[in-house]
């Protein structure tokens, strides 16, 4: 009896899940044509309604991605950030969540909010280490932490999975390496000048002391 009850419960859950999936899929297909036609605010209302009728699922996540893309194209970065935040908080799976974190972090940097971008990138998996490290470097650079940014870019370079190398990433590393060398030279030159000044002042100080004596 218990076995039959368990099977019935499983069948009920499976049927309910399939029906929800079918309804969400149909609603997703109905909203897609509106992406190009509707305004950002109208789409936000559509997606809010979608969320109330459906549990968290990839259809909702993908619609939020499309909304964010449209908002960015219209330079409405606040709306884009809001859409991606929804995905970060309610993503159907970890992969989708990480994609949302990456896109949202880039928007925060564009909005001159590098610290918020860094806070968003405090969680990562090996599969996204390259992208997380690259964007973390951009955020650190925006904060003026050049050496930490360079180290983040180097980690990104180590985890690059593509063919050859990421030329843009290499340029970032090269620029910061040159900047670091120049800073070291300036510091060395400053120390040398100070040492020379100290040596030039010593005879005068000695002469003054003799006169006082």
The mean pLDDT of 57-69, rounded to a whole number, is: 94
Quick check: 112 and 142 in contact, CB under 8 A?
A: yes
Mean pLDDT computed over every residue of the chain: 83
pLDDT for residue 186 is more than 60: yes
Instruction: Collect all residues with Cβ–Cβ distance below 8 Å to 153 and sequence separation of at least 6.
Output: 133, 134, 137, 169, 172, 173, 176
Q: Residue 66: count other Cβ atoms within 10 Å of its Cβ.
A: 18
pLDDT at 182: 75
Q: Using CA atoms, how far apart are residues 78 and 19, in angstroms rounded to an integer?
A: 35
> Higher pLDDT residue, 141 or 122?
141
pLDDT digits (tens, 9 = 90+) for 129-177: 999 999 999 999 999 999 999 999 999 999 988 766 788 999 999 999 8
Q: Residue 111: count other Cβ atoms within 10 Å of its Cβ.
A: 14
Confidence of residue 4 (pLDDT cuts 50, 70, 90): very low
The mean pLDDT of 56-65, rounded to a whole number, is: 91
> Higher pLDDT residue, 1 or 185?
185
> Higher pLDDT residue, 166 or 65?
65
pLDDT at 5: 47
pLDDT digits (tens, 9 = 90+) for 190-206: 655 665 565 665 555 55
pLDDT for residue 124 is more than 80: no
pLDDT at 53: 86
Quick check: 149 and 176 in contact, CB under 8 A?
A: yes
């Amino acid at each position: 009896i218990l076995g039959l009850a368990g099977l019935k419960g499983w069948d009920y859950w499976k049927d309910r899940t399939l029906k929800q999936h079918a309804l969400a899929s149909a609603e997703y297909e109905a909203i897609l044509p509106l992406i190009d036609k509707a305004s950002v605010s109208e789409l936000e209302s559509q997606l809010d309604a979608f969320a109330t009728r459906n549990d968290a699922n990839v259809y909702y996540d993908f619609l939020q991605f499309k909304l964010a893309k449209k908002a960015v194209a219209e330079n409405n970065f606040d709306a884009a950030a809001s859409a991606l935040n929804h995905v970060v908080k309610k993503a159907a799976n970890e992969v989708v969540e990480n994609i949302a974190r990456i896109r949202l972090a880039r928007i925060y940097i564009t909005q001159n909010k590098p610290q918020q971008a860094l806070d968003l990138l405090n969680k990562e998996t090996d599969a996204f280490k390259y992208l997380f490290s690259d964007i973390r470097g951009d955020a650190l650079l925006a904060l003026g932490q050049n050496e930490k940014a360079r180290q983040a870019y180097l980690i990104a370079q180590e985890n690059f999975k593509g063919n050859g190398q990421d030329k843009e990433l290499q340029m970032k590393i090269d620029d910061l390496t040159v900047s670091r060398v120049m800073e070291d030279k300036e510091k060395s030159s400053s120390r040398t000048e100070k040492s020379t000044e100290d040596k030039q002042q010593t005879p005068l100080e000695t002469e003054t002391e003799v006169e006082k004596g």
